[in-house]
């Protein structure tokens, strides 16, 4: 006797049912005044099926009903849980648990409520794929948000990528879910999504924790709780620190082009096995990427030796094209598998913390690519992006813009920012292209953009989203950094959200960067007419918490590398580089510089190739690396250079008006003591043997650092370790120093209070 109507069977067979649990699985029915169980299953390719009861292993044959592969039987028993199906397919036979026997939803009503209002901060623990156990049976729970889909199925190796076999159930808020028993870690999967017209889209999991190595695009079932972290002390110290008063010197890295290994050398896995070699590109078939674990062995010691406090990684999130630098993300919750597994990336971060190095990850919430397996047109509609291209597309980049007005989309992004701190213990994010998010007319011509509700060009939804994201991550993880790459005059970018700011705690100083590169690229004789380039940043410096950055964007697309921008002969080029960075490290603000600048690479950055490590065969490049090592050490050892970056009392000009000599001098003061340092910068190749500056206190000023020192490749002009003050009033100060200024050099001096006190006490001064 059948208990199912033909139209119900057809809806399952043709994959047109939004809730297959209404038909499939076990159902208690009344028959002749008696309660029995009807068990139904749709099993394509099956020729015979029987139900196995768990208690006595008794089997009940099932009959085909209305369709050769739709099976049903009735069982007279009080309770029916954890039954199994014995399936015969040709000559093969297998026994499985029925996915449709597990009815309890993994997401609660409260989960769905929070997600619908955009406030489920850890929604990544609910959506996506999660190894779990239900009623004593292990398997994987799958959930995906696709509210406008007609049907959603799970595809994978476990069902021969057949969308008929694991049809999902749609909840009230558009979340589809299904628990599949006996699916294990490492399984590949996708979602098969049908829109109302029946068009099929095969999509990677937006919340998937790992994807196949490119060019494949399937998601992989992964457990992010298996790794044993060892950085508890680091996290506790970070939680109780204020990064704005700490030294932050960031080494920006694209790990796919920092260094490669030979393709003849297989990558080693933690268990001693090896994984297949994937060449970097057809252009470079003899090289392969280093893995996260190999980078932990090579990159971390290199950065630690140079003295940087942080490593910033160009987007780690999964992306389809190696040459894109990572900014077109298709897997927001998956570290790219180019360099290894999710656990391997955890190991890299853990080792950074073990070596006293923080990790900043570039984050891209402003746009995403149109790749078919990604977020674009996800459920057959414009779900994550705006439908109107005047708001939903960046034509210049060929990407789509997130719809920040949709709660679930904001939730996807806010939770994603939190996710990297939560699961991967990162210490900061650098948010890419913030200006493109904040302005509706960004890179758009008249008629190609829509104004906001007040007729303005500001993207109010994007601004609210950024406030929500920053408020959330700082609420959970105090002591981290959130850095905005924002190139306009949008106010209060790095101010707290409770004051009306966007909530970042640092903002790239793009104006300083442009002014510096313009200034240093000109012949030194002309610099006297452009003194404003050097001094202008201090007029607006205290409006934001600025980070001084010379990033990857400045060494590509015909711009030349840093040393190539410098005028003069080879000696002057190196001297200009030292002068630029010494000024940068004494100027208020945190610091970021891109890989290869530390040793003076001549060529532009090439994403397909190694850095030019062969340059270390030559002494000038060795000396430049030594310069950066000692500059970082000085920066970290002198609190006056970092504790008071953003307070007006932390900086004071001595003289900023000597444009005739292209010299500036200033004071940096410590926040927690009366210590200070004096910096004097000569931006021309002309040395000055008697250059006098006023200083605030009398005594002996030790020359802590001289960018023209012999060990850095300079001319070794200086002040023989330091100078005593004269009772000669200068620059509105009662005391002054008579200094020798080296060519294209920066001097950093500090009052030696102990030596001064000893000499004064002996009556020698």
- Which one, of 591, 656, 655, 588, lies nearest residue 628 by Cα? 591
Cβ-contact 485, 433 below 8 angstroms:
yes
Residue 437, classed as helix, strand or coil, is helix
Question: Among 318, 427, 432, 598, which one carries the catalytic annotation?
Answer: 432
**Residue 30 to residues 27, 84, 739, Cα–Cα distance (Å):** 10, 23, 102
Helical residues (DSSP H) of 601-684, grouped into ranges: 619-637
Distance of alpha carbon 752 from alpha carbon 458, whole angstroms: 52
Render 128-142 in DSSP notation, one character per residue.
EEEEEEETTEEEEEE
**Residue 540 to residues 166, 207, 450, 545, 556, Cα–Cα distance (Å):** 59, 41, 31, 10, 28
Distance of alpha carbon 556 from alpha carbon 554, whole angstroms: 6
Q: What is the dihedral of CA 525, 527, 530, 533, to 10 degrees?
A: 170
CA 508, 511, 512, 517 torsion-angle sign:
positive
Q: Measured at the alpha carbon of residue 221, what is the angle toward residues 220 and 227, in degrees to the nearest 5?
A: 110
Distance of alpha carbon 429 from alpha carbon 427, whole angstroms: 7
Residues 6+ apart with CB under 8 A from 55: none
Question: Among 187, 485, 598, 708, which one carries the catalytic annotation?
Answer: 485
Residue 475 phi, psi (nearest 5): -65, -40
Active-site residue, 56 included:
no
HSE-up of 458 (CA within 13 Å, CB side)?
8
The residue written with tokens 């005391």 in the block is 735
* Strand-pair partners of 93: 88
Structure tokens belonging to residue 678 = 């004096």
HEC states along 672-711?
CCCCEEEEEEECCCCCEEEEEEEECCCCEEEEEEECCCHH
Distance of alpha carbon 303 from alpha carbon 645, whole angstroms: 23
Residue 318, classed as helix, strand or coil, is strand
Structure tokens belonging to residue 60 = 């009940």
Helical residues (DSSP H) of 70-205, grouped into ranges: 109-116
The residue written with tokens 């695009």 in the block is 217
Cβ-contact 333, 129 below 8 angstroms:
no
Active-site residue, 432 included:
yes
CA 626, 628, 633, 638 torsion-angle sign:
positive
Helix (H) or strand (E) holding 319: none
- Which one, of 566, 562, 569, lies nearest residue 598 by Cα? 562
> Which residues are the active-site residues?
432, 485
């Amino acid at each position: 006797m059948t208990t199912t109507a033909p139209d119900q069977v057809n809806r399952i067979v043709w994959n047109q049912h939004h809730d297959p649990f209404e038909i499939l699985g076990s159902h208690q029915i009344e028959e002749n005044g008696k309660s029995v169980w009807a068990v139904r299953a749709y099993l394509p390719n099956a020729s015979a099926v029987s139900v196995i009861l768990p208690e006595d292993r008794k089997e009940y044959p099932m009959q085909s009903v209305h369709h050769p592969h739709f099976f049903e039987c009735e069982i007279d028993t009080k309770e029916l849980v954890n039954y199994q199906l014995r399936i015969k397919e040709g000559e093969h036979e297998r026994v499985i648990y029925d996915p449709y026997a597990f009815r309890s939803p993994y997401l609660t009503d409260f989960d769905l409520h929070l997600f619908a209002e955009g406030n489920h901060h850890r929604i990544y623990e609910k959506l996506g794929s999660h190894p779990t156990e239900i009623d004593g049976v292990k398997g994987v729970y799958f959930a995906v948000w696709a509210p406008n889909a007609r049907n959603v199925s799970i595809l994978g190796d476990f069902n021969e990528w057949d969308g008929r076999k694991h049809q999902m159930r749609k909840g009230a808020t558009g979340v589809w879910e299904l628990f599949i028993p006996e699916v294990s870690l490492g399984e590949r999967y996708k979602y098969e999504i049908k829109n109302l017209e029946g068009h099929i889209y095969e999509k990677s999991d937006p919340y998937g924790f790992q994807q196949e190595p490119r060019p494949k695009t399937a998601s992989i079932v992964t457990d992010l709780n298996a790794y044993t972290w060892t950085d508890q002390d680091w996290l506790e110290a970070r939680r109780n620190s204020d990064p704005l008063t700490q030294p932050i010197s960031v080494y920006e890295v694209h790990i796919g082009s920092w260094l490669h290994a030979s393709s003849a050398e297989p990558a080693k896995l933690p268990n001693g096995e090896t994984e297949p070699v994937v060449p970097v590109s057809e252009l470079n078939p003899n090289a392969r990427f280093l893995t996260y674990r190999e980078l932990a062995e090579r990159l971390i010691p290199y950065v630690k030796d140079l003295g940087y406090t942080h490593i910033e990684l160009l987007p780690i999130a999964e992306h389809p094209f190696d040459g894109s630098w990572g900014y077109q993300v298709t897997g927001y919750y998956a570290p790219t598998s180019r360099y290894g597994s999710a656990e391997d990336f955890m190991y890299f971060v853990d080792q950074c913390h073990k070596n006293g190095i923080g990790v900043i990850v570039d984050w891209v919430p402003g746009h995403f690519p149109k790749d078919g397996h990604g977020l674009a047109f996800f459920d057959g509609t414009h779900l994550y992006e705006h439908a109107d291209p005047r708001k939903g597309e960046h034509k210049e980049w060929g990407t789509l813009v997130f719809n920040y007005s949709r709660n679930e989309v904001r939730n996807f992004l806010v939770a994603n920012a939190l996710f990297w701190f939560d699961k991967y213990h990162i210490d900061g994010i650098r948010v890419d292209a913030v200006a493109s998010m904040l302005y509706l007319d960004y890179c758009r011509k008249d008629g190609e953009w829509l104004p906001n509700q007040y007729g303005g060009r500001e993207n109010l939804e994007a601004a609210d989203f950024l406030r929500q994201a920053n408020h959330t991550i700082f609420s959970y993880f105090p002591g981290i950094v959130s850095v905005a790459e924002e190139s306009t005059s949008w106010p209060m970018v790095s101010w707290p959200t409770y004051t009306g700011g966007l909530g970042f705690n640092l903002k790239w100083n793009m104006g300083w960067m442009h002014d510096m590169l313009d200034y240093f690229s000109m012949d030194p004789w002309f610099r006297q007419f452009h003194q404003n380039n050097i001094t202008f940043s201090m007029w607006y410096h205290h409006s934001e918490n600025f980070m001084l950055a010379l990033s990857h964007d400045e060494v590509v697309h015909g711009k030349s590398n840093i040393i190539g921008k410098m005028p003069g002969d080879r000696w002057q080029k190196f001297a200009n580089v030292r002068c630029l960075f010494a000024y940068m490290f004494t100027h208020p603000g945190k610091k970021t510089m891109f890989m290869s600048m530390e040793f003076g690479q001549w060529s532009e950055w090439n994403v397909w190739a190694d850095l030019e490590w062969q340059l270390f065969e030559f002494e000038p490049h060795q000396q430049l690396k030594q310069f950066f090592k000692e500059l970082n050490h000085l920066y970290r050892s002198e609190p006056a250079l970092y504790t008071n970056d953003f307070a007006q009392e932390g900086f004071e000009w001595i003289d900023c008006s000597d444009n005739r000599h292209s010299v500036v001098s200033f004071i940096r003061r410590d926040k927690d003591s009366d210590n200070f340092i004096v910096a004097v910068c000569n931006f021309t190749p002309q040395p000055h043997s008697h250059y006098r500056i006023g200083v605030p206190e009398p005594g002996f000023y030790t020359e802590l650092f001289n960018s023209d020192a012999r060990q850095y490749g300079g001319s070794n002009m200086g002040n023989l370790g330091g100078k005593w003050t004269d009772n000669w009033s200068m620059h509105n100060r009662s005391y002054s120093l008579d200094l020798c200024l080296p060519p294209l050099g920066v001097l950093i001096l500090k009052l030696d209070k102990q030596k001064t006190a000893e000499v004064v006490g002996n009556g020698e001064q």
